[in-house]
Amino acid sequence: MEIQEIRTFGRRHGKKISNHQQWLVDNVLPVILPKNIKKAGDFILEIGFGNGEHLRELALQYPDKIIIGAEPFMNGVSSLLSSIWDESTKAIKPEYKNIYIWPDDVRIILKNDSAEFLPFKLSQIYVLHPDPWPKARHEKRRLLNSDFLNMLSSKLENNGSIIIGTDHHEYYDWVLNQLKNTSLKIKSTDVDIIKTRYQKKNKANTVAPKYIILSN
């Protein structure tokens, strides 16, 4: 990684992945890196997709669009690879052929001085349950700071949307404050979104997630 940044994520590796998952990382992942996108089209990005439940929903919901997921946690990446791979045909399941994966910090593909830069604009950008980094001394690790929001804004199509969801209400308010240093506008706070793994962990649903949709 050539870009020196404050790290916004926790671990890159959890428990050891299976041999089959490692095979998918070594053989399938290189084929679906964003640099292999050849088509023009409509692009959607999900940042920090975790195990990829919502990303797969996006792929099904928008079969004609290209869905790019960024996630540095390799156990999440390998879990998504397992769920889009059909072992019987030894190919990606047809309904997930529109998925591309960036297995690292999303800022690497968003910075225009990076070799991995995504050279196109995005119609939708999702950030669902970003790490809240609740301790004051970790606040600098929060991904959705104004610099990052400005970076997302520059990658957004004219009528594009940034969709943010979190059940950490203090972080939500912090993001609203960060918006003051951007030109992004609030389009809506009323979003009906499928439950991600992180959200499902909050079984009693004691804290309702809050959403915000932003546009340029």
With CB under 6 A as the contact rule, the residue among 45, 101, 196, 212 that binds ligand SAM is: 196
173 is catalytic: no
Indicate the residue among 28 and 53 with the shorter CB distance to ligand SAM.
Answer: 53
Phi, psi for residue 79 in degrees, rounded to 5: -65, -40
With CB under 6 A as the contact rule, the residue among 29, 32, 44, 72 that binds ligand SAM is: 72
Given 131, 173, 190, 192, the catalytic residue: 131
Segment 142-161, which members bind ligand SAM (CB under 6 A)? 143
Report the candidate in 14, 50, 207 with the shortest Cα–Cα distance to residue 128. 50
Residue 4 sits at the vertex; the CA angle it makes with 153 and 152, to the nearest 5 degrees, is 5
128 sits near ligand SAM (criterion: CB under 6 A):
yes
With CB under 6 A as the contact rule, the residue among 107, 142, 168, 210 that binds ligand SAM is: 107
The residues near 192 (Cβ < 8 Å, ≥ 6 apart) are none
Contact 9, 73 (CB under 8 A): yes
CA–CA separation, 185 and 163 (whole Å): 12
Q: Which residue sits closest to ligand SAM, CB atoms considered?
A: 48
Residues in the site for ligand SAM, rule: CB under 6 A? 8-9, 47-50, 70-73, 76, 105-107, 128-131, 143, 196-199
